[in-house]
Amino acid sequence: MPQPALLAISHGTSSPAGQAAVAALVDAVAQRLPDVTVRLGHVDVQQPDVAASLDAIPEGTPVVIVPLLLSAGYHVRVDLIEQSAGRAGIVIAPALGPDARLVDALMARLAPLAPGPDDAVVLAVAGSTDDRANEDCREIGRMLSARLDRDTTVGFLAAADPRVDAAVADAKTHAERVVVADYLLAPGYFHDLAVRLAAGAPVAPPLLGDDEPPASVVDIVVDRYNEAAR
């Protein structure tokens, strides 16, 4: 059987910065897997979509789809299955999170904001209509709280409560300074929304930016592929 191709599927974004950051991640993964065909597609917003991405991979080549998504919501549980139906030899790997290595990346992004022992920390997450995805994000919140050795409030940007603005407002009642950790993969609409809802509180950058992709995130994508390919 030929070596499975790796089809990395992002959510998709209209943000040029977000597009470049995700492409850089996939390039870094391809460098780590020189003998594997690595392609990037999108479940929403951008092209190529899942079907077009699969069509670009030769028929008969097995494919591992790695969702570049931080939690397993509707896109992972429904969209990817439906959009890849009809082609044999496809395995869909788990979402990137929850994973302790994502907390490594969050800590690195938070470090320049230098949260002090008396500061409150809010973890901004996208939010989903599937509460299993929200629970994945709450688990990351618990992991970050343990790493920081302090309570961390999860604030949602859509679909669930408490919203980020409410979480920040509540944190301000018992802390002089609030710092927002940004549990988003790349710049785009949700990061811009997090900055607005933070109401002046400093917001850390997303996990990916215009710098080199965190090695921990590259490791997760590679591991998701290798585990599914086996």
- How far apart, in whole angstroms, are the C-alpha atoms of residue 14 and residue 46? 7
Residue that has been written with the tokens 């040029």 in this structure? 16
Provide the residue ranges of all domains of the chain, joining segments of one domain with +.
5-96+210-229, 100-197
Q: DSSP 3-state assignment of 7? A: strand
pLDDT per residue over 172-230, tens digit each? 999 989 999 999 999 999 999 999 999 999 999 999 999 999 999 999 999 999 999 99
* Separation CA 149–CA 155 (nearest Å): 18
Pick the CATH number of 5-96+210-229 from 3.40.50.1400, 3.20.20.70, 3.40.50.280, 1.25.40.10: 3.40.50.1400
Task: Please state the pTM of the whole predicted model.
Answer: 0.95
pLDDT tens by residue, 40-81? 999 988 999 999 999 999 989 999 999 999 998 776 777 888
- Candidate CATH numbers 3.30.43, 3.30.70, 3.40.50, 3.30.160; the one for domain 100-197: 3.40.50
Q: Which two tokens stand for residue 29?
A: 């993964």
Q: How far from 48 is each of 19, 37, 89, 152, CA to CA, in Å?
A: 12, 16, 20, 37
User: Do 5-96+210-229 and 100-197 share a fold?
Assistant: yes
Sequence-separated (6 or more) residues with CB below 8 Å from residue 212: 24, 28
CB contact burial 34-62 (16+ within 10 A = b; e otherwise): eebbbbbbbbebbeebbeebbeebeeeee
Q: In whole angstroms, how far apart are CA 201 and each of 173, 174, 185, 192, 195? A: 13, 14, 20, 13, 8
